[in-house]
């Protein structure tokens, strides 16, 4: 039961409290105060002692307890009744769980001096508690001991929280640190030292010494953040900086901290916080940043890096008169063919080798390119498209010299596993003289010039000129026209007869597509077929030719009642894109059925390069062959495959390309090649057709060499269906 202030002051001896002021220093003015004022002050004092959550014990000079507050009972379990009159040493001894600590208090009492420390006490209910016990003697003016006052603060909850916190800090692998702002001393836990690799003895524990570990680039922002924290600590300091690890390398550490102690005047006294090793996250961030800037296959910078570099060059060009740059856009001739015939892994390896050669060639000091005078960026921006930005060149000539040397270097054959691949680069160049205002447009113009280089012969470079943009827009317009050509009925099919070279008899026709453009007139297929392939129209065009030709062929009585006994055939050209379309075999079957044709009446022509070993294409070719439709290998001699590959393809005819036939009479080399082709075809049981026979001499020679059939202007140009009927009739009558 609390006994109120009167009880307390009496118990402790009012005079002592007044004179010593140990519990609470009486203000100077107290000496002159009236009894009423004294009473009021002491009343307040007693109230505080009574209500305090700290345990308060007063004892007399013989250490006998004269007063305890309620908190004392709550913490220790000793009631006021059982405590009063008891020596506080005995109470302490009964309650102390730590004999060494208890002994310290005994010694202090014996010596008549105060003592303060944390001790582990055991309450009467057996529960262990931590308390900070402050024991002080009270003396009168003459220095005579008049009593003792003990104040015990219960630290149990605080300790539990601290323990939890340190468990969390340890578990998270966090370093902890404290900085005494005014004195400059640093404190940290072992983990903090472990993160930066130092022994405690190796590292000066001062703010200065720690600052010296920070990376020069990170120091200024760190200092700014710390200053902001010292000024205003409502938001915690949080920042990643690089620290010099004991091993000499830089490690990324994230510091979080806050001012935890300020003077009355607001001066920051102590900053405390945690530190985390974020090296792994930083490494990952770096990797991701690099991945976003690098082409994964070649490790060259990617399109976004290049565009940025071009933007910088354009800006510099504006700001600095005389500064010039060039963008070289290169595309590899035949790359698609390599990819299709030898597989993507060979294609990828080729791209890597190309990237390697580019880098080697452009490296400063390279003797081949002599490009050490200008900085450069070499990037891969897609498929087989590489771009080089030449910085600070002297003029167009520098770009041309680099381009022509690059063409030479890149044309050296590539060895990829067992394959020897020949490829060459076509390069389009935009120099600052004709550079557009933005990087995308510069790249587009360089691309246009590159197409011009390809169109005009490949393995060469072309400098961009603004007029080329008009050509491109013309071809875009043509592409749009082609999209509508089918619906508008501008497309039609012509038929060129094939003749037996031995008998001179008509044996069939080849269907060839034509486009009568409303303003341009007849557009040759070599111009619009590749365009249709590129823009996805070839499927529809191919269907149109197949259906038109089959129905025209079936409708021509002159073909079916041919007197020779030979069944004339209809040859239709197929493009690569068609061979990759899933429905082709079904389309062919439908066309035959719809027109009452037997499969033997149809021949499908595929070009040599396109028929090469692509698994999907080969499957389609076999399916066509199994249907009973014959395949003919068109333009033989112009592509990649050799005579030795002939037996691998399910073809029934080989068509010797016009470029060989036209030189057969004048070039022994071409004659020998034609002869070898015909022999090989005969050995394999294949028929042969000579394309583009224009003279009797060529016809005679082809017959002598053993070629079965001929086709060419000598016999007839491709004819419209109606004219073909007339032509066949006139031939019969010859």
189 neighbors 175 (Cβ within 8 angstroms)? yes
Q: Which does 525 bind (CB under 5 to 8 A by kind): Mg ion, ligand C2E, none?
A: ligand C2E
Residue nearer to ligand C2E on the CB measure, 159 or 514: 514
Q: Please pick, from the candidates 545, 559, 629, 728, the single residue that binds ligand C2E as defined by CB under 6 A.
A: 545
Q: Parallel, antiparallel, or unpaired: how do β-strands 491-500 and 385-390 relate? A: unpaired
Q: Distance between CA 120 and CA 101 in Å, rounded?
A: 8
Reported residue count of the chain is: 734
Q: Distance between CA 389 and CA 257 in Å, rounded?
A: 47
CB of 597 to ligand C2E, least distance (A): 17
Query: Which residues in 658-717 contact ligand C2E (CB under 6 A)?
Result: 658, 691-694, 711-713
CA-angle at 107, arms to 101 and 112, nearest 5°:
130
Binding mask 167-196 for Mg ion (x = CB under 5 A): ------------------------------
CB atoms within 10 A of CB 282: 17
Q: Distance between CA 319 and CA 313 in Å, rounded?
A: 10
Q: Distance between CA 91 and CA 178 in Å, rounded?
A: 39
CB of 589 to ligand C2E, least distance (A): 19
Q: Please pick, from the candidates 605, 608, 614, 708, the single residue that binds Mg ion as defined by CB under 5 A.
A: 605
CB of 729 to ligand C2E, least distance (A): 21
Binding-site size for ligand C2E (CB under 6 A) equals: 23
Q: Distance between CA 58 and CA 352 in Å, rounded?
A: 89
CB of 494 to Mg ion, least distance (A): 12
Verify binding: residue 569, ligand C2E, rule CB under 6 A. Answer: no
Q: Please pick, from the candidates 634, 646, 673, 678, the single residue that binds Mg ion as defined by CB under 5 A.
A: 634
Q: Please pick, from the candidates 512, 523, 588, 681, the single residue that binds ligand C2E as defined by CB under 6 A.
A: 512
CB of 655 to ligand C2E, least distance (A): 7
Binding mask 662-681 for Mg ion (x = CB under 5 A): --------------------
Name the residue with the smallest CB distance to ligand C2E: 712
Nearest to 689 by CA among 628, 629, 637, 612: 637
SS (H, E, C) 145-160: EEEEEEEEEECHHHHH
Residue nearer to ligand C2E on the CB measure, 50 or 605: 605
Residue nearer to ligand C2E on the CB measure, 304 or 638: 638
CB of 328 to ligand C2E, least distance (A): 33
Q: Distance between CA 230 and CA 260 in Å, rounded?
A: 10
Q: Distance between CA 565 and CA 500 in Å, rounded?
A: 13
Binding mask 543-582 for Mg ion (x = CB under 5 A): ------------------------------x---------
Q: Please pick, from the candidates 635, 687, 701, 727, the single residue that binds Mg ion as defined by CB under 5 A.
A: 635
Q: Which does 273 bind (CB under 5 to 8 A by kind): Mg ion, ligand C2E, none?
A: none
Q: Please pick, from the candidates 89, 428, 718, 725, the single residue that binds ligand C2E as defined by CB under 6 A.
A: 718
For the sheet with 237-244, list strands across it. 186-188, 175-180, 268-277, 250-262, 237-244
Q: Parallel, antiparallel, or unpaired: how do β-strands 569-573 and 602-607 relate? A: parallel
CB of 610 to ligand C2E, least distance (A): 10
State the DSSP H helix or E strand holding residue 668, giving kind and residue range, or none if neither. helix 668-683
What is the helix, strand, coil percentage profile of the chain, to 5?
Answer: 50, 25, 30
Q: Is 322 left (phi over 0), alpha (psi -120 to 50) or beta?
A: left
Q: Please pick, from the candidates 573, 641, 677, 688, the single residue that binds ligand C2E as defined by CB under 6 A.
A: 573
Residues in a beta bridge with 387: 329, 379
Residues near ligand C2E (CB under 6 A) are 496, 512-513, 524-526, 529, 545, 573-575, 605, 634-635, 658, 691-694, 711-713, 718
Residues near Mg ion (CB under 5 A) are 573, 605, 634-635, 691
């Amino acid at each position: 039961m609390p006994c109120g202030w009167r009880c307390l002051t009496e118990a402790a001896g009012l005079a002592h409290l007044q004179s010593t002021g140990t519990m609470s220093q009486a203000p100077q003015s107290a000496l002159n105060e009236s009894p009423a004022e004294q009473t009021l002050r002491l009343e307040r004092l007693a109230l505080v002692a009574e209500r305090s959550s700290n345990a308060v014990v007063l004892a007399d000079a013989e250490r006998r307890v004269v007063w305890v507050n309620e908190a004392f009972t709550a913490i220790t379990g000793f009631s006021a009744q059982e405590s009063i009159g008891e020596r506080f040493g005995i109470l302490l001894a009964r309650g102390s769980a730590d004999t060494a600590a208890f002994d310290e208090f005994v010694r202090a009492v014996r010596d008549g001096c105060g003592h303060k420390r944390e001790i582990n006490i055991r309450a009467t209910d057996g529960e262990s508690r931590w308390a900070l016990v402050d024991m002080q003697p009270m003396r009168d003016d003459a220095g005579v001991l008049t009593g003792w006052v003990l104040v015990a603060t219960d630290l149990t909850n605080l300790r539990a929280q601290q323990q939890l916190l340190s468990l969390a800090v340890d578990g998270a692998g966090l370093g902890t640190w404290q900085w005494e702002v005014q004195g400059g001393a640093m404190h940290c836990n072992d983990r903090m030292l472990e993160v930066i690799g130092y022994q405690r003895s190796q590292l000066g524990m001062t703010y200065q010494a720690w600052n010296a570990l920070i990376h020069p680039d990170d120091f200024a922002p760190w200092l700014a953040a710390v200053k902001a924290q010292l000024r205003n600590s409502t938001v915690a300091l949080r920042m990643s900086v690089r620290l010099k690890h004991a091993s000499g390398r830089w490690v990324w550490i994230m510091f979080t901290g806050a001012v935890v102690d300020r003077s009355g005047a607001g001066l920051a006294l102590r900053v405390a916080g945690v530190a985390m090793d974020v090296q792994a996250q930083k490494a990952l961030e770096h990797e991701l940043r690099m991945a976003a800037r690098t082409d994964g296959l070649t490790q060259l910078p990617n399109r976004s890096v290049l565009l940025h570099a071009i933007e910088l060059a354009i800006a510099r060009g504006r700001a600095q008169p005389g500064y010039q740059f060039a963008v070289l856009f290169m595309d590899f001739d035949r790359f698609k063919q390599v990819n299709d015939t030898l597989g993507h892994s060979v294609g990828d390896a080729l791209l890597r080798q190309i990237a390697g050669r580019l880098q080697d060639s452009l490296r400063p000091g390279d003797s081949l390119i002599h490009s050490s005078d200008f900085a450069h960026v070499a990037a891969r921006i897609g498929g087989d498209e590489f771009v080089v930005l030449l910085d600070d060149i002297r003029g167009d000539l520098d770009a041309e010299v680099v381009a022509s040397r690059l063409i030479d270097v890149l044309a050296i054959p590539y060895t990829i596993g067992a394959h020897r691949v020949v490829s060459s680069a076509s390069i389009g160049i935009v120099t600052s003289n004709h550079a557009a205002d933005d990087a995308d447009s510069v790249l587009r113009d360089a691309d246009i010039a590159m197409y011009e280089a390809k169109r005009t012969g490949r393995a060469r470079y072309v400098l961009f000129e603004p007029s080329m943009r008009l050509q491109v827009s013309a071809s875009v317009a043509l592409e749009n026209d082609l999209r509508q050509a089918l619906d508008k009925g501008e497309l039609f099919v012509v038929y060129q007869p094939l003749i037996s070279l031995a008998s001179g008899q008509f044996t069939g026709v080849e269907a060839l597509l034509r486009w009568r453009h409303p303003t341009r007139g007849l557009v040759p297929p070599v111009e619009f077929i590749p365009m249709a392939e590129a823009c996805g129209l070839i499927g529809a065009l191919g269907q149109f030719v197949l259906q038109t030709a089959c129905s025209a062929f079936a409708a021509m009585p002159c073909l079916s009642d041919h007197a020779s006994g030979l069944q004339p055939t209809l040859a239709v050209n197929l493009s690569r894109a068609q061979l990759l379309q899933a429905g082709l075999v079904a389309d062919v079957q439908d066309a035959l059925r719809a027109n009452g044709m037997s499969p033997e009446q149809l021949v499908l022509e595929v070009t040599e390069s396109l028929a090469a070993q692509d698994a999907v294409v080969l499957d389609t070719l076999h399916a066509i062959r199994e249907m009973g439709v014959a395949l003919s290998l068109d333009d033989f001699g112009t592509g990649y495959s050799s005579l030795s590959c002939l037996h691998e393809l399910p073809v029934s005819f080989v068509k010797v390309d016009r470029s060989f036939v036209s030189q057969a009479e004048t070039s022994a080399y071409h004659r020998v090649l034609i002869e070898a082709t015909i022999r090989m075809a005969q050995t394999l049981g294949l028929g042969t057709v000579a394309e583009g026979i224009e003279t009797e001499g060529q016809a005679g020679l082809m017959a002598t060499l053993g070629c079965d059939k001929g086709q060419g202007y000598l016999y007839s140009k491709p004819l419209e269906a109606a004219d073909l009927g007339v032509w066949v009739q006139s031939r019969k009558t010859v």
